[in-house]
Structure 1
Amino acid sequence: MTGEPGGPPPALDRELHHPTRLALAAYLSACGEAEFAVLRDYCQVSDSTLSKTLSALEKTGYVSIRKGYLGKRPRTWAALTLTGRRALAGHLTALEEIASAARRAGAEPEGDRSEPEED
């Protein structure tokens, strides 16, 4: 099992490891699609940063981008793809494995820890 001593480390997704990308994917996983300004405000980033983040996730196939108009104003919407949903689920599972391994290590019996003995 991953996360065990001597075993392979959990497989974190390199594309979702950055906090902004992870927050964006998590937000999009809870909705069908979201408008650019909503995502920008949620992630608390600039237009430029969000645009670059969306482009990077679109390049990996994790996000789809739709452009259109609301009235006469141009708008951009983003949605998490099935590939993105699977990647997010795998990344979250890996994070849980890391946290679980840490909890198990912290719960080891006192005799198993290498602490100095008192005289």
Structure 2
Amino acid sequence: MTAPIQGSHPRHGLDEVIHAPVRFSIVATLAAADKAEFAFVRDTVEVSDSVLSKQVATLEKAGYVAVTKGYVGKRPRTWLALTAGGRAAFADHCRALRAIAGDTTD
């Protein structure tokens, strides 16, 4: 049995970590800002705290998201931000999606 050939189809440019719908939504939300509060991302993406936590952990492990914890007054807060690598991976992923869809403007 021979190994599959890595072709030139744009799907090879998709990032498996980002491609999952919830993770893609998280990264897209974070791409629009320097950082965002956990609750804002949760509400924007319309997921529960536990789902967001699990998906952010996957993105953090991949080096795509940085998590910062702190306080606003006496209330604990968590902020999420894309790393430089996360921004680059998101841009590459979007470029691959546009190529698959036949958009050649990029």
Matched, 1:63 2:65: yes
CA distance in 2, matches of 1:36, 1:68: 12
1:83 aligned partner: 85
Q: TM-score, normalised by structure 1?
A: 0.77
Q: Which has the larger radius of gyration?
A: 1
Aligned residue pairs, count: 95
CA RMSD of aligned residues (A): 1.1
Unpaired runs of at least 5, structure 2? 1-6
2:99 aligned partner: 97
1:8 Cα shift? 2.3
Selected match of 2:28 from 26, 32, 38: 26
1:100 Cα shift? 0.2
1:41 aligned partner: 43
Question: SS of 1:15's equivalent?
Answer: helix
1:9 Cα shift? 2.2
CA distance in 1, matches of 2:43, 2:14: 26
1:78 Cα shift? 0.3
Of all paired residues, the percent bearing the same amino acid is 54
CA distance in 2, matches of 1:33, 1:50: 15
1:8 aligned partner: 8
CA distance in 1, matches of 2:64, 2:30: 10
